[in-house]
């Protein structure tokens, strides 16, 4: 039996303020998992026994595997930056952000290319921007353009007003236009449904177009089985072609398919913690989501073979108890498990690149 690695990223599940948190505007000591547990205590026995919770400062007794925290080194606190750093790409200069909206010339060029006026062009959360502009969008057909504290160009449109393929075309145009100095890290399609009376909800046909990544471990290994948003974060390069899953339940099903495949490296992202609860300042929902994931984790542990290595980690923080709805600059927890693993505290290690190093070493037959 050949060796295999499964990396599972719990999106947004930070483990305490990084030393440079203030540089990223996080002044109130974010600590996502700890603060969620304090606000809404949850039971997650599998995360506890692997040491994932202990790494985040939550009392418990790890009983197997290695655990600790990883300090992010790249200049960003988002999913692209976190996943890239895991695979060996460190970003020295932050991608541009637009707290006052995008340059008017850029917006006009975008409108000219897509053949329609746009709405918005400001910072806003996904739910806020729809509440403010959803009705006007429906009446005019103009797509909504907005950004956040991250380096993103987001285009929102009602699926009954702008067909999903047309929205994707808009985003491809935006990606072509967003070159230095306006090279935002990610263009995101944000389709939604609903009405002014019943409210609006995002649908699960979001799609991401990141900046093309430099060569990295995914390229080195190739034929990676990506689950969820992961392949999109790398522009699809180096990944098998599989269907895009959109929520934790779908990711769990796809993870089962990956385990049944011949893939030697499985790279999965479970995003509901961040997308549904961190960005919406909902610690109660975050808590429930962790308890639900723990059941999935228990099932996963029961399917691992003797040559499998499981790495659990996160890409950044998103503390739902802090003053904003943005990501937070935090250490990320990490737990490593394989057959016969002994319990070991790793402490704090520099760099999310440790994840990629462990992947490479395990697949090469080296000890970790």
- Residue 120 pLDDT grade (very low, low, confident, very high; cuts 50, 70, 90): very high
- Residue 138 scores a pLDDT above 90: yes
At 192-215, the pLDDT tens digits run: 999 999 999 989 888 999 999 999
What's the whole-number mean pLDDT along residues 336-361? 97
pLDDT-derived band at 351, boundaries 50, 70, 90: very high
Q: What is the pLDDT of residue 204?
A: 84
**What digits encode the pLDDT tens for the residues 243-295?**
999 999 999 999 999 999 999 999 999 999 999 999 999 999 999 999 999 99
Share of the chain above pLDDT 90, in %: 93
User: Is the per-residue pLDDT at 127 higher than 90?
Assistant: no
Return the higher-pLDDT residue of 153 and 148. Answer: 153
126: pLDDT strictly greater than 80: no
Q: How confident is the model at residue 149 (pLDDT cuts 50, 70, 90)?
A: confident
Is 90 exceeded by the pLDDT of residue 125?
no
Look at residue 114 in the predicted model and tell me its pLDDT: 98
Q: How far apart are CA 255 and CA 10, in angstroms?
A: 14
Q: Please, what are the domains in the chain?
A: 4-93+211-363 (3.40.720.10), 104-209 (3.30.70.1250)
- At residue 1, the pLDDT reads 73
pLDDT attached to residue 258: 98
Mean pLDDT of 132-151: 95
Q: What is the pTM of this model?
A: 0.90
């Amino acid at each position: 039996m050949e060796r295999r690695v499964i990396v599972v990223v719990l999106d947004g599940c930070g483990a305490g303020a990084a030393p440079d948190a203030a540089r990223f505007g996080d002044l109130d000591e974010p600590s996502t998992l700890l603060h969620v547990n304090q606000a809404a205590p949850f039971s997650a026995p599998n995360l506890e026994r692997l040491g994932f919770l202990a790494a985040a400062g939550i009392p418990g007794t790890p009983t197997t595997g290695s655990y600790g925290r990883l300090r992010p080194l790249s200049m960003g606190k988002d999913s692209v930056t976190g996943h890239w750093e895991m695979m060996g790409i460190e970003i020295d200069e932050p991608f541009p952000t637009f707290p006052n909206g995008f340059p008017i010339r850029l917006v006009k060029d975008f409108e000219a290319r897509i053949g329609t006026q746009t709405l918005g062009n400001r910072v806003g959360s996904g739910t806020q921007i729809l509440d403010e502009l959803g009705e006007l969008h429906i009446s005019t057909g103009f797509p909504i353009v907005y950004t956040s504290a991250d380096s993103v160009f987001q285009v929102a449109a009602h699926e009954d007003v702008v067909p999903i393929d047309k929205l994707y075309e808009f985003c491809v145009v935006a990606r072509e236009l967003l070159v230095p100095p306006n090279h935002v890290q990610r263009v995101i399609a944000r389709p939604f449904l609903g009405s002014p009376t019943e409210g609006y909800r995002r649908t699960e046909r979001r799609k991401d177009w990141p900046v093309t990544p430099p060569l990295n471990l995914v390229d080195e290994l190739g034929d990676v089985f990506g689950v969820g948003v992961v392949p999109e974060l790398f522009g699809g390069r180096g990944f098998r072609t599989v269907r895009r899953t959109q929520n934790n339940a779908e990711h769990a099903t796809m993870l089962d398919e990956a385990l049944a495949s011949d893939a030697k490296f499985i790279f999965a992202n479970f995003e509901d913690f961040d997308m549904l609860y961190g960005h919406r300042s909902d610690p109660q929902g975050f808590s429930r989501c962790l308890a639900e994931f723990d059941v999935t984790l228990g099932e996963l542990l029961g399917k691992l073979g003797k040559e499998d290595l499981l790495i659990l980690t996160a890409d950044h923080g998103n503390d739902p108890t802090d003053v904003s709805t943005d990501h937070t600059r935090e250490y990320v927890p990490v737990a490593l498990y394989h057959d016969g693993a002994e319990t070991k505290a790793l402490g704090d290690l520099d760099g999310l690149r440790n994840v990629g190093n462990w992947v490479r070493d395990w697949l090469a037959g080296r000890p970790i």
